Structure 1
Amino acid sequence: MLRKLSGDPECRNGTCPTLWGTEDAKDYVVQGYVVTDPARLAQLNLPEGETAVVVPATVLEEYFRAQR
């Protein structure tokens, strides 16, 4: 079971970039916009089975601010 830790405060439809925590609190799942720009993907050199997503800074900032 995932638990929502932080979301995009500008979200209006409920399906926006979000930071999730796993039930054992050992991992995070990041929901964001898939990187499709070939130049950016080439820089990342992702292995099979991995993808990259863009997450607004506000999502992570909100999470870390809440942890203080």
Structure 2
Amino acid sequence: MTAEPLRKLTGDTDCKNGTCPTLWTKTATGDYVVQGYVITDPAELAQLDLPAGETAVRIPAPMLEEYFRGRF
């Protein structure tokens, strides 16, 4: 099975090593994929009440602000 192609939309502008938070889109569906820092703080996770199979990531606000500023 071949993975659906992803297209990079924007990334963390302060990134120094190339593996930083990034916003992608799935080209076939237009869905978004977010790469970020896994949230491990139990208090934060308890507030989210995530179901099995889901996780939460943190991404820098400037990264999304830059992307959406260019969209609207």
Q: Quick check: TM above 0.5?
A: yes
| Cα deviation code 1:1-50 (max 9, x no counterpart) | 00000100000111000000111252100000000000000000100000
Largest Rg, 1 or 2:
2
Q: Which runs of 5 or more residues in structure 2 are unaligned?
A: none
**Identity across the alignment (%):** 68
Structure 1 outlier segments of 4+, above 2 Å: none
Q: Which has the higher contact order (CA 8 A, sep 6+)?
A: 1
Match of 1:17 among 4, 21, 28: 21
> How many residues are treated as equivalent by the alignment?
68
Q: Which runs of 5 or more residues in structure 1 are unaligned?
A: none
Q: Output the TM-score relative to the length of structure 2.
A: 0.89
Q: Output the TM-score relative to the length of structure 1.
A: 0.94
